């Protein structure tokens, strides 16, 4: 059998597609053939502005979804933090792989962590979620937009354009850049993006053969946690380009969910958390969102749209 995987052409996206290929081969016999369908997305092409000004991280997945809808591919592999809440009709995300480290990484050639950065030090990030939390905790720093793939961002740091940059730990480790991580940010300082560190597999609904093929790759615990996190965005009607953080953990059949919404300049942060039985992750996400809304999250998000 042949399975065609739609993927972006970036090094990180290709690593993720290759990892899914490896796991599929492990789960099935040698008769499985895999082909990568490499695509350039709008998000890869528009690198001069913030994603929030261009339509959000959904720009990284639309072309891949179009490939599924046109039957040019059988599955699409995504970073879950890039996947919009609303999927096109007839497509769904039945499989989420086991989550890697979800934390943010501090990368610098001169400093060990955020605490050691001097006044007016320039920190690079493309994420309004990271920006709002860093500015709230370290108002003496300056945030500067940083776009591009991981190699491009590291090159800009090495070129002296930034004193430090913030990237996802998982992405750096997957690409072999673990030695560039000077420290990992505590989730108390930088709560991760919804779905950060997790890889999802999207396919056409009712494609029974494909769903059966990819089912062994699903990690139940990660799926439950990411489902709870995504329920926050769905309840707040907020896209993945907005400053919304969400991180769920599962222990002893209890799911604990924390979330945050903030102004990009860090002037206002709303925080909420809840826990409950792992059997109803969406309800937990909705409870957290309701508390965020009570604190003024709607006003924050409306001001940024």
Q: Is residue 223 part of a domain?
A: yes
Asked if residue 213 is part of any domain, the answer here is yes
User: Are 162 and 143 spatial neighbours (Cβ–Cβ below 8 Å)?
Assistant: no
Q: How far apart are CA 66 and CA 68, in angstroms?
A: 5
Is residue 189 in some structural domain? no
User: Which tokens sit at 51?
Assistant: 């994603």
From 241, 305, 232, select the one nearest 270 (Cα to Cα): 232
190 lies in some domain: no
Query: 179 and 139, same structural domain?
Result: yes
Q: How many CB atoms lie within 10 A of CB 303?
A: 10
Domain harbouring 56, CATH code: 3.40.190.10
Which residues, in sequence order, are CB contacts of 55 under 8 Å at separation 6+?
42, 241
- Two tokens at 124? 């690079």
Sign of CA dihedral 299, 80, 139, 152: negative
42 and 84 together in one domain: yes
**CB of 272 within 8 A of CB of 291?**
yes
Residue 193 lies in a domain: no
- Residues 155, 226, single domain; the answer is no
Q: Are residues 41 and 59 in the same domain?
A: yes
The residue written with tokens 């059949």 in the block is 253
In a domain, 250, yes or no: yes
Residue of 296, 181, 290 whose CA lies nearest to 232: 290
150 and 212 co-located in one domain: no
> What CATH number did the domain enclosing 253 receive?
3.30.160.40
Could you tell me if 244 and 254 lie in one domain?
A: yes
Pairwise CA distance, residues 189 & 133, whole Å: 7
Greatest Cα pair distance, the chain, in angstroms, is 60
Where does a domain end: 128, 159, 184?
A: 184
Cα dist from 23 to 7, 98, 213, 217, whole Å? 16, 12, 11, 7
Structural domains counted in the chain:
3
pLDDT at position 70 is: 95
Q: Give the pLDDT of residue 161.
A: 98
Q: Do 116 and 173 sit in the same domain of this protein?
A: yes
For residues 169 and 261, state if they share a domain: no
Q: Is residue 192 part of a domain?
A: no
Evaluate if pTM is beyond 0.75. yes
Whether 44 is catalytic is no
Neighbouring C-alpha atoms within 13 Å toward the C-beta of 114: 25
85 and 29 share one domain: yes
Q: Which of 82, 104, 163, 207 is catalytic?
A: 82
Q: What is the C-alpha to C-alpha distance for residues 3 and 139, in angstroms, rounded to an integer?
A: 50
CB 121 within 8 A of CB 160: no
Q: pLDDT tens, position by position, for the chain (305 residues)? A: 899 999 999 999 999 999 999 999 999 977 899 999 999 765 444 444 444 444 444 566 888 999 999 999 999 999 999 899 999 999 999 999 999 999 999 999 999 999 999 999 999 998 999 999 999 999 999 999 998 889 999 999 999 999 999 999 999 999 999 999 999 999 999 999 999 999 999 999 999 999 999 999 999 999 999 999 999 999 998 765 689 999 999 999 999 999 999 998 999 999 999 999 999 999 999 999 999 999 999 999 888 87
Q: Is residue 45 part of a domain?
A: yes
Give yes or no: residues 176 and 252 share one domain.
no
What does the DSSP 8-state code read for residue 77? E
Q: How far is CA 225 from CA 231, 254, 297, in A?
A: 10, 11, 22
- Domain encompassing residue 159: 104-184
| Same domain membership, residue 208 and residue 252 | no
Residue 244, CA distances (Å) to 56, 123, 272, 289, 304 in order: 13, 20, 11, 10, 12
Question: Where are the extended beta strands (E) located within the chain?
Answer: 2-8, 33-39, 75-79, 91-96, 104-107, 122-125, 142-145, 164-168, 183-184, 199-204, 244-251, 254-262, 269-277
Clarify whether residues 74 and 143 are in a common domain.
Answer: no
């Amino acid at each position: 059998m042949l399975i065609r995987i739609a993927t972006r052409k970036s090094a990180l996206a290709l690593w993720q597609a290759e990892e899914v290929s490896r796991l599929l081969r492990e789960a099935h016999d040698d008769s499985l053939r895999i082909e990568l369908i490499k695509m350039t997305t709008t998000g890869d092409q528009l690198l001069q502005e913030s994603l929030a000004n261009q339509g959000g991280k959904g720009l990284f997945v639309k072309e891949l979804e179009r490939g599924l809808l046109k039957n040019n591919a059988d599955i699409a592999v995504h970073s879950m933090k890039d996947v919009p809440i609303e999927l096109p009709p007839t497509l769904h995300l039945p499989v989420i792989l086991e989550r890697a480290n979800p934390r943010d990484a501090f990368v610098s050639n001169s400093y060990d962590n955020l605490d050691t950065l001097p006044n007016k030090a320039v920190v690079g990030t493309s994420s309004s979620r990271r920006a709002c939390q860093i500015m709230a905790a370290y108002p003496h720093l300056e945030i500067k937009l940083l776009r591009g793939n991981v190699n491009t961002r590291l090159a800009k740091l090495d070129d002296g354009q930034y004193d430090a940059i913030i990237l996802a730990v998982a992405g750096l480790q997957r690409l072999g850049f673990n030695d560039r991580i000077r420290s990992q940010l505590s989730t108390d300082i930088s709560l991760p993006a919804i779905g950060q560190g997790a890889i999802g597999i999207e396919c056409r609904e009712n494609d029974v053969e494909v769903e059966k093929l990819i089912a062994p790759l699903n990690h139940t615990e990660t799926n439950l946690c990411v489902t709870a996190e995504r329920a926050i965005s769905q309840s707040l009607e907020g896209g993945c380009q907005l400053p919304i953080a969400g991180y769920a953990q599962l222990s002893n059949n209890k799911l604990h969910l924390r979330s945050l919404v903030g102004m990009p300049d860090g002037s206002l942060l709303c925080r909420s958390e809840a826990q409950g039985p792992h059997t109803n992750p969406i309800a937990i996400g909705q409870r957290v969102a309701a508390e965020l809304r009570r604190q003024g999250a709607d006003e924050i998000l409306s001001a940024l749209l």
